[in-house]
Structure 1
Amino acid sequence: MDLTAFFDINNTLVTIPIGGGYAMSWIEAIGTVFGLLCIWYASQEKTINYLFGLINVTLFAIIFYQIQLYGILLLQLFFFCANVYGWYAWTRPASDTGERLEVRWLSKQKLLGTAVISACSIALLTLYIDPFFAMLAKLAVNTLNLFGAELAHPVLEPDAFPFWDSTMTVLSVVAQILMTRKYVENWILWVVINVISVGIYAAQGVYALSLEYAILLFIAANGTRAWMKTAKQNQEKQPSQQAAPEASV
């Protein structure tokens, strides 16, 4: 199989006997595997998750390009940049002492601010989701055309689930940002996102994606449990670290 054929969404790897049959392409299968690896290793607090994440968003950007979902394609650019930043933030010293970021909870002030911004963003996007994604699609097409793509502007159908799509979009952005800073709340948001995704894709008859997000839901729930435990250990460690200099005086 040549490289061009690999990236073609019509190059079917396997037809999954779910619903009326779902033809999964090679690029979607490989992208999905890397996506699952990304989430699993992130739940284990392993920095390599960002390498898998970069591969995942790149492959899915190619998929969205081929099926002309240019607005979602542009969102992959954000996730690509977030993965690059997360890799940097997880590996560089977070303080002058050379210590790296530790898993922790958001402060009450940051939690309130995040909740307010998220709620307002979801409300606004719900009202304007169609023109918003049309704008993103136009921007993506114009950008690609600068590089000689010669694409026509797509005609987008009205969103079938504006509130739920807006919720998933906003919370996915917020969760990705929180993950780069190692806040436990990111996993709670991924649990919510995956629950919604399972329901939405099942309602649309895309049972393969619904099954995939059910797996992601399990990983996110495990990530929540693991990071809550780590955050508790880090909190317990801090008082002893602060008391050490006093004991030595």
Structure 2
Amino acid sequence: MIDLLSTSNILVHIPVGSGGYDLSYIEAIGTICGLLCIYLASIEKTINYLFGLLNVSLFAIIFFQINLYASLMLQVFFFIANIYGWYAWTRVKEGTQEVELKTRWMSAPKLITTIIICAVFIGLLTVYIDPVFKVLTDIVVNGLNAVGFNITMPELEPDAYPFWDSTMMVLSIVAQILMTRKYVENWIIWVIINLISIVIFSLQGVYAMAIEYAILTFIALNGVKMWQKSAKENGSKPLSSINS
């Protein structure tokens, strides 16, 4: 099992980019779970959260092995968000008026508030991204060492794309939260995140991940279509339709 979870346990060599790309078993399994999670979420299947939990758990192990501790911390957030989303999607209290969460569009106040929050946090993180990730890395490394691990504090290089990296991180958190509440806008945000990811990963020479996010873009576009239809059936309309 330990060997299976190692990034050095290579499943296949993919001839892309300079020197190709060695795809490990754990990355392959984690990626498949991630794709299944997004696809099942796009058709509103609650079991998507099971694959989401597997995906973030495996990716957390990967990030731990390659010393990306801030990314590991983000997976912890996604793990908690997946558990909450599973609960929120299936919560129905017997003997009360509370019903199952329905797919819908955001109201104008919520949408405006979300846009402002995103803009503020993207701006702040762009300026302070390096010290923020240093603090997150210190927290994770010291926490792991406190429970028996022996990890050397890594030397962090300055972020290559602070604005775009900050944008992807903030929007990913917001999109995940909106998905747990079944707001259609979450898929629009995922499309934006995936398009940015394709460009950044291509510039960094990580072509396999760029291809993965291209696939995720099409799944997210399908999510927009499917959830828009579902929201319409629930009597919810986008703001442009309401105002027209």
Tell me the number of residue pairs that the alignment of Structure 1 and Structure 2 aligns.
235
Please tell me the residue identity of whatever aligns with 2:3: A
Kindly indicate which of the two structures has a greater share of residues assigned to helix: 1
- In structure 2, list runs of 5 or more residues that go unmatched: 237-244
Distance 1:205 1:139 in 2: 30
1:152 offset after TM fit, Å?
Answer: 1.3
- 1:178 maps to which residue? 178
Answer whether contact 1:184 1:228 (CA < 8 A) is retained.
yes
Please tell me the residue identity of whatever aligns with 2:12: V
Please tell me the residue identity of whatever aligns with 1:10: S
Structure 1 segment 36-47 matched on structure 2, within 5 A: 36-47=35-46
Please tell me the residue identity of whatever aligns with 1:65: F
The CA deviation string for residues 189-213 of structure 1, in whole angstroms up to 9 with x for no partner, is: 0000000000000111111000000
Distance 1:94 1:137 in 2: 40
Structure 1 segment 206-245 matched on structure 2, within 5 A: 206-235=206-235
Answer whether contact 1:94 1:101 (CA < 8 A) is retained.
no
Answer whether contact 1:16 1:23 (CA < 8 A) is retained.
yes
With the length of structure 2 as denominator, give the TM-score of the two structures. Answer: 0.94
Please tell me the residue identity of whatever aligns with 1:224: V
2:96 matched to 1:101?
no
Distance 1:27 1:51 in 2: 17
The CA deviation string for residues 61-112 of structure 1, in whole angstroms up to 9 with x for no partner, is: 0000000011110111100000000000000027933520000001000000
Select the residue among 7, 11, 15 that pairs with 2:13: 15
Distance 1:98 1:131 in 2: 44
- 1:83 maps to which residue? 82
Structure 1 segment 78-227 matched on structure 2, within 5 A: 78-93=77-92, 96-227=96-227
For residue 148 of structure 2, give the secondary structure of its aligned residue in structure 1.
coil
- 1:242 maps to which residue? none
Distance 1:198 1:131 in 2: 26
Q: Are residues 94 and 168 of structure 1, via their aligned partners in 2, closer, same or farther at CA, if it must alter by over 3 Å?
A: farther
For residue 22 of structure 2, give the secondary structure of its aligned residue in structure 1.
strand
Distance 1:98 1:144 in 2: 41
For residue 235 of structure 1, give the secondary structure of its aligned residue in structure 2.
coil
Please tell me the residue identity of whatever aligns with 2:85: G
With the length of structure 1 as denominator, give the TM-score of the two structures. Answer: 0.92
Please tell me the residue identity of whatever aligns with 1:26: Y
- 2:71 maps to which residue? 72
Distance 2:12 2:121 in 1: 39
